[in-house]
């Protein structure tokens, strides 16, 4: 396997990384794009000419961000869609509404070190949002990602994966004391393993998953 090198480092900006790249006509989804890393990722993709969908829980905030991105990049192909990754119905509706080939899926949205919270199913909220929700989203969008044979999934993880493996015997802290950082860490570990598994299983479909730490 050839060593991949890059001129970029920890001080590089998203704008520097995408400089000179043309993604005109390519469709991208960025989850959690109303703030932070997701917002700047969406802005950088917009600068390349991509058609970008901001998948967000708060569509009012998403609309404000979309307007800002259009104003700063000149790209008018910025869309906003409701997506709550802790809600299986919301994920299903988002998937059902997607009708086009998909070239880039950025699994960015997440929650961190929450006090103990659970979904209606009883799932620990960080694992449900950061991992299970994105798993369901990617699985549901598989055919759209495979449609043109050259798609990329980017999983935003964290060095916090070092805090905990996936504790398969008690993923949802039913039997051990809840620790917000261990819960966050195992969700990030799961996200990394998803990228490994997705590439292994979907590479033949032209889908490659990478992790950003």
Q: Please, which residues bridge with residue 81 across strands?
A: 55
Radius of gyration of the chain (CA): 17
Which DSSP state fits 118?
Answer: B
Which DSSP state fits 14?
Answer: H
Identify how many contiguous H helices and E strands the chain contains and give both numbers. Answer: 8, 6
Distances (CA, A) of 186 to 4, 133, 155, 192, 208: 28, 15, 15, 10, 23
Give the separation between CA 62 and CA 82, rounded to whole angstroms.
9
Q: Of residues 173, 184, 194, 202, which has the active-site annotation?
A: 184
Cα dihedral across residues 66, 68, 71, 73: positive or negative: negative
Is 178 annotated as catalytic?
no
Distances (CA, A) of 8 to 14, 24, 78: 10, 23, 27
- By annotation, the residues acting in catalysis are 184
């Amino acid at each position: 396997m050839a060593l991949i090198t890059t001129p970029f480092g920890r001080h590089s900006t998203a704008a520097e990384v995408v400089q000179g790249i043309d993604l005109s006509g390519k469709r991208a989804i960025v989850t959690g794009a109303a703030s932070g890393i997701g917002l700047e990722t969406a802005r950088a993709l917009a600068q390349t000419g991509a058609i970008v969908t901001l998948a967000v829980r708060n569509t009012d905030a998403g609309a404000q961000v979309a307007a800002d991105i259009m104003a700063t990049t000149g790209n008018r192909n910025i869309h906003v869609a409701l997506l709550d990754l802790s809600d299986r119905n919301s994920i299903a509706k988002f998937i059902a509404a997607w009708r086009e080939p998909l070239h880039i899926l950025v699994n960015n949205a997440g929650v961190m070190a929450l006090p103990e919270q659970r979904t209606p199913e009883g799932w620990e909220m960080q694992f449900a949002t950061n991992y299970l929700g994105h798993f369901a989203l990617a699985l549901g969008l598989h055919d759209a990602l495979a449609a043109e044979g050259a798609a990329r999934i980017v999983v935003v993880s964290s060095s916090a994966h070092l805090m905990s493996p996936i504790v398969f015997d008690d993923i949802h802290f039913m039997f051990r004391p809840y620790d917000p950082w261990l819960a966050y860490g195992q969700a990030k570990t799961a996200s990394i393993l998803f990228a490994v598994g997705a590439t292994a299983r979907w590479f033949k479909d032209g889908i490659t998953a990478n992790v950003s730490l």
